[in-house]
Amino acid sequence: MDTKLKSYDTKFGKFIPDNSPDGLFFWELQISVECAIFSGVVPVSVLSAVEEISDNTLKLAEKIVANMNEYLEKGIYFIAKTLKENPGLYYIKETELTYLSYDVKTFPLDLPELTFYNNKDDEWLIRFAEGKFDICDPFGISVVFKSLKPHEIMNLENSTEFD
């Protein structure tokens, strides 16, 4: 951890600096969530090219976390809709097609994580680290938001892990 970076207090906890990929800065906190979609601990992080988090990024994170259930539902709904419309594009297997008919509360994605991009105040994502779809292995699947609306999904199956 880079001890030179400062921590940031928010309405939902304190962002603490942590290790990051080369040339970037990273802060994270963990929040407990009890909502219709998920119950458990959700990591919330900020990734930045500069050594500080902007006020706009912190305000956006506070707004999203305060309405976590709404954004988890929006994210899952968007992923489900996109996979249903383009199963071939996302390599949905015949055995996985039944999952596409599940409702938002039972859709087979789990372990959400939120990532905000500093100074890209309108772009952030929810990564579901686990899911029953083959494309979720090994890194999950993400939905990218532009401001408050889902914009695109990211298939992470060909991603690489960084230290």
Q: Edge-to-edge strand order for the sheet containing 149-155?
A: 8-10, 13-18, 25-34, 39-48, 109-117, 123-131, 141-146, 149-155
pLDDT digits (tens, 9 = 90+) for 56-91: 999 999 999 999 999 999 999 999 999 999 999 999
Tell me the C-alpha distance between 125 and 113, whole Å: 8
Question: What's 61's DSSP letter?
Answer: H
Say which DSSP state 67 is in. T
Asked if residue 1 has pLDDT above 60, the reply is: no
- Determine what percent of the chain is predicted with pLDDT higher than 90: 77
pLDDT band at 132, cuts 50/70/90?
very high
Mean pLDDT of 35-50: 93
